[in-house]
Every structure is written in structure tokens, then in C-alpha cells.
């Protein structure tokens, strides 16, 4: 049995979709559905059971998990970069992960977990996933710090040779529809363009970046789940790895790709960024991908233009855009 925590969320449900495509449905999904629309991500997917995250944690702490587990793919976390409740983030993103990791390691069970490129902070320390450089990173929000703390725990406990952590960069694609403010700019801009024919982007406040010239490493969720699948198939490959394309692109590039996929002439308005975000804004991210590739991962990534076109034409423009129905 494979446990996928956050299995109704964005990357988690996409990975269940990938497992199904590989003929695997002995899957237990762990999540918290609440009143959100995440449940729609499960429609069309094949899995054995669903457990509330608290119920699963109780099973783990009581040593009462009622089935054999071959792997835990831990994608469950609060992914909001603007969450202000530090205690919640500490409990949900660090303590929960630590408990699951300890349980898995005790049983020699494959453990793959989600870290984040938010750990790199403003980028002044670079974007190297070299274990010796990770302790020097200084996240600029509590979300990034909650991910950094677990990475540091792995390194200090000398567990990097036994688990696989993934620092996701700017992931976009189907099944992010429930994420609200945390949904990708592609998702938001698609709907802005449909409603107004225009997209609004934050201005740049650094002279070296033109408006819309701020850069990110945008990576398609389908490419991400291929990499996770490879890690699942190669349990001897461990450590903390970046997962991005390795090529930064501008917001203008991204939005031009959206307009082109929708066959609409680009129309971008640059607006003021809220004061509260200016000190937490990343102007440049780009994954160093040498480490994962050197480990043997094929790590093939679609171009930004092809990924955006696939997302828009095969999903966003459909009446039921979820991966399980594609």
C-alpha cells in the first residue's frame, strides 16, 4: 500500500493520477477535505481508502496502522506562503512530517516528502541543493521556514541517506483549482482574461528588473509527478533535491504564453504591489538541477509554452478540468 498525504490536494492528487496511469491503485489518500472543493480532485481517481489526516496521525502515533505500507509520499502541508499562524505551520508542516518520517524509517518504509523553494528566501544565498549549503538559507516567510526546519532536522539527524526531500519551485497545472489565492498566476490570469481581456501584474521595485521582468522557475505538475515516480522506483536515491526546470522565465513570458494559448492579443497592466508583500517578494528563482540529474533521474521538462498550452487547452477550457477525468 502506498500512502499519499495531501492526496486530495494539488500535487498529491496529481501523483495519485500518475500512480493510476502506472497501473497502481493500492493507495490510501490522507487529507483534510473540510468544506473545500478538493474532493473534486478525487473524482475519477482509483484508490483503496481515504483517511482524515488526524485519524492517520493517531494510527501512526498509536502504532496501529492496519495495513502494510510500502511507501509514504508526504505531500500534505499548509502551502500558503502568506499564512501568519506560526504555531499552525510548525505543527502541520514540521511536527507532523517528523512523526511520519520517524515511523517510516523505523519500518524501513520509503519516505518521500515535499520541501519548497521558499526555503531559499530572497535568493541571495543561491539555489543550490547541496546539503552543506542548506543550513545557511534564510527563508523570508514562516511557510518557507516551516519547510526549512524539517530539512535541517533531516540533515542533523543524518537521515539524508534514507529519505528523499523535494524542493518544489513554481509548480502549476491541473488540480490546483481549490487553492484560491495560492493558485498559480496561469490559473488566475486565464480567468482574468476571460472576464476582462486583460491581466494585472505587480510592478518591479528593483531597477535591474523591468515591470513583468521578475523571473521564476515555472514547472508543470505533470513533469513533477514523473520525477516523484522515478524517486519512488529508485529507493536507493536519497537526499534533498531541487525540482524545477532549471531555467528561469519572466512573468511577461508566462503571460504571453497564456494569451497565445487562448489566441488573444497580450494586454498586461502593471499595478502597485501591496506594501505587506514587498519585503517577502522573490524577484528571481531558478533550480539548480545537476544533483537530481546526476542521481540518474531523466528530469525531462516541457517548455513553458508547451506546458501552458497543455494546461489551458486540455484542462482550463474544459467543463470538468480535473486530471482524473482527462
* Positions marked catalytic: 143, 179
Helices (H), the chain: 10-21, 53-61, 86-89, 96-106, 142-156, 185-196, 221-233, 251-261, 275-278, 290-294, 304-311
Per-residue CA distances from 74 to 8, 118, 282 (Å): 12, 17, 26
> Crossing angle of helices 221-233/304-311, nearest 10°?
100
Per-residue CA distances from 248 to 279, 288, 292 (Å): 21, 11, 17
DSSP 8-state symbol, 313: I
| Cα(111)–Cα(91) distance, integer angstroms | 19
Report the half-sphere exposure of 79 (CA within 13 A, side-chain side).
25
The label of the residue with cell 509514504 reads 72
- With beta carbons less than 8 A apart as the criterion, state whether 94 and 149 touch: yes
| Cα(68)–Cα(247) distance, integer angstroms | 40
Provide φ and ψ at 14, rounded to 5°: -65, -35
- With beta carbons less than 8 A apart as the criterion, state whether 81 and 140 touch: no
Cell of 112: 518521500
- With beta carbons less than 8 A apart as the criterion, state whether 144 and 280 touch: no
Report the DSSP pairing between strands 215-216 and 249-250. Answer: antiparallel
| Cα(80)–Cα(77) distance, integer angstroms | 9
Within 10 angstroms of residue 64's Cβ, the number of other Cβ atoms is: 8
Amino acid at each position: 500500500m502506498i500512502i499519499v498525504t495531501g492526496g486530495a490536494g494539488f500535487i498529491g492528487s496529481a501523483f495519485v493520477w500518475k500512480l493510476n496511469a502506472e497501473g497502481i491503485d493500492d493507495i490510501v489518500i490522507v487529507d483534510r477535505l473540510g468544506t473545500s472543493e478538493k474532493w473534486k480532485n478525487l473524482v475519477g481517481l482509483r484508490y483503496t481508502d481515504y483517511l482524515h489526516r488526524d485519524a492517520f496521525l493517531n494510527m501512526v502515533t498509536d502504532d496501529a496502522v492496519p495495513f502494510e505500507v510500502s511507501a509514504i509520499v508526504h505531500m500534505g502541508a499548509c502551502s500558503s506562503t502568506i499564512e501568519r499562524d506560526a504555531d499552525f505551520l510548525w505543527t502541520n508542516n514540521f511536527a507532523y512530517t517528523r512523526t511520519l518520517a520517524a515511523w517510516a524509517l523505523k519500518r524501513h518504509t520509503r519516505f518521500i516528502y515535499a520541501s519548497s523553494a521558499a526555503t531559499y528566501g530572497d535568493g541571495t544565498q543561491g539555489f543550490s541543493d547541496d546539503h552543506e549549503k542548506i543550513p545557511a538559507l534564510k527563508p523570508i516567510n514562516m511557510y518557507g521556514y516551516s519547510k526549512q526546519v524539517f530539512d535541517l532536522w533531516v540533515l542533523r539527524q543524518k537521515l539524508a541517506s534514507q529519505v528523499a526531500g523535494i524542493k518544489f519551485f513554481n509548480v502549476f497545472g491541473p488540480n490546483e483549482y481549490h487553492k484560491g489565492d495560492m493558485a498559480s498566476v496561469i490559473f488566475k490570469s486565464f480567468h482574468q482574461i476571460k472576464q476582462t481581456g486583460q491581466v494585472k501584474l505587480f510592478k518591479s521595485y528593483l531597477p535591474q528588473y523591468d515591470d513583468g521582468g521578475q523571473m521564476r522557475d515555472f514547472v508543470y505538475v505533470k513533469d513533477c509527478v514523473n520525477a516523484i515516480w522515478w524517486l519512488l522506483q529508485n529507493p536507493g536515491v536519497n537526499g534533498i533535491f531541487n525540482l524545477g526546470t532549471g531555467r528561469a522565465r519572466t512573468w511577461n513570458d508566462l503571460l504571453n504564453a497564456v494569451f497565445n494559448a487562448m489566441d488573444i492579443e497580450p494586454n498586461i497592466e502593471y499595478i502597485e504591489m501591496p506594501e505587506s508583500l514587498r519585503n517577502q517578494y522573490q524577484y528571481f528563482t531558478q533550480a539548480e538541477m545537476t544533483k537530481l540529474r546526476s542521481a540518474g533521474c531523466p528530469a525531462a521538462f516541457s517548455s513553458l509554452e508547451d506546458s501552458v498550452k497543455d494546461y489551458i487547452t486540455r484542462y482550463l477550457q474544459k467543463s470538468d478540468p480535473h486530471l482524473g477525468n482527462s
